[in-house]
Amino acid sequence: MGTTFPIIGNAHQLKADSGAFFNQVVTLSTKYNHFPMYKIWIGTVPFVVLYHHDTIEMILNNATHMDKAQAYTFLHPWLGTGLLTSTGKKWRQRRKMLTPTFHFSILTDFLEVMNEQAEILVEKLQNKAGKGVFDCFSHVTLCALDIICETAMGKKIYAQSNSDSEYVKCVYKMSDIVSRRQRAPWFWPNFLYYTIGDGIEHDKTLKVIHDRAENISNIESDSDTDGKKRRAFLDMLLKATDEEGNSMSHQDIQEEVDTFMFEGHDTTAAAMNWALHLLGSHPEVQQKVHQELDQVFGTSERPINTEDLKKLKYLECVIKEGLRLYPSVPFFARTICQDTTIKGYKVPKGSNVILFTYVLHRDPRYFPDPEEFRPERFFPENSVGRPAYAYIPFSAGLRNCIGQRFAMMEEKVVLASILRNFTVEACQKRHELHPVGELILRPEKGIWIKLEKRTSQSCVQ
């Protein structure tokens, strides 16, 4: 990285703009790719950047290094110490309590919500079809927000009816604020942050997010259908108890509500938007998806069921390949909890490691021509021999994403609903997307597409 200064380390060399910073670390990782790692000092904390499957596996598959990195403490005012940010005994207890809420039978109950909200999205997109270019990013994001609020809290919030969602804007703003603080050690002390930094803006933005989440979680569930109450995560959180029979406190539940609302809509929304761009840029791939959908649904307008989801194998490969090129979480970090050696390099206790998913997924040994969009890479026969840690869009090991089956189900339902009704044309070239790697990987200026209603005899009219 060049000159390292006392107190600030290499932080003065890091780009302030999120897009430029992301491009900078991608360039560095490409430059040093023949090494197993490289090191950046941010303040007095060394960050070791890993981007090869074998070094990443050494960290994620080791129960010793399960603590999230110091940089995650800046998320505590927002997410508390919920499942994403907690460590040690609290994390283990919380994970054990929450795992049953993601059981397949419970996820099946959520399919109805996903279908209903996807139908609303399709109705909104009907007004855009045949009318030129538009940015689909917020439309898909609000659909994902409606889905997570109704499944997690049992509460309809009608985000898709209110396209000017203050909550979504504040989540984007908060992600940017936290990311900038993480790489600026001079703003780590609260005194300086609130005197000359973004501290006041941080708290103002945070209040909107917390007030919104609190309002949703405090309102009695209204997701009844024909007198049968749907199960929601919140209902299960209220009933959850640990090994000693202790139930979760109001604060515990609020932490998980905030975590689910952020993680449960932002990641899936990004994945679906990237997938729409890629499909719109590759009409031959989109045609194969349309053929698969027509085989499964014919001219029917019926909702998607669990049997349908199993049959949408090519669409699943499209989603996986989209997540390879544009993983929703482009990097995550751990604290090294005891002195360790990685490929002959000593990494002392207290160091932080950054696991760079975006670069990992571009290893040409396992993904030839890595910048090419090829869903066939994920056909079973083409996945043979690929190391398990070469592709980790939902992380891996003990702290893998608890909601990955929920996410895949939602992405399949929403994308299938869109593609049963429309053909998509991308209106940006890949180099125009400018990925911004904050907490979630987003395109700098949205996803611009054109839609046309499908006119084939075998599609949904």
Q: Residue 69 carries which DSSP code?
A: P
Residues 336 and 351: their CA atoms lie apart, in Å, by 5
Specify which residues 349 forms β-bridges with.
none
Exposed (0-12), middle (13-18) or buried (19+): which is 422, by Cβ within 10 Å? buried
Amino acid at 243: E
Q: Where are the alpha helices (DSSP H) in 326-390?
A: 357-360, 380-383
d(CA 75, CA 401): 17
Contact 265, 213 (CB under 8 A): no
User: Hey, what amino acid is at 76?
Assistant: H
Beta strands in 74-205 (DSSP E): 134-135
Pair 377, 70: CB distance under 8 Å: no
The answer on whether 459 is annotated among ligand-binding residues is: no
Token digits of residue 246: 């202790």
Question: Hey, what long-range contacts does 176-181 have (CB within 8 A, 24 or more apart)?
Answer: 176/18, 176/438, 177/201, 177/202, 177/205, 178/74, 178/75, 178/78, 178/202, 178/438, 178/439, 179/18, 179/21, 179/438, 179/439, 180/16, 180/18, 181/74
- Distance CA(405)–CA(171), nearest Å, equals 23
**Amino acid letter at 433?**
L
Output the six-digit token pair for 421. Answer: 């009704």
Contact (CB, 8 A) for 357 and 332: yes
Q: Is 440 exposed, middle or buried (0-12, 13-18, 19+ CB in 10 A)?
A: buried
**What is 85-104 written as a DSSP string?**
T--HHHHHHHHHHHGGGG-H
Which residues are CB-contacts of 423 (< 8 A; sequence separation ≥ 6)?
283, 286, 290, 451, 452, 454
Q: Annotated binding residues for heme, as ranges?
A: 401
Residues making up the annotated binding site are: 401
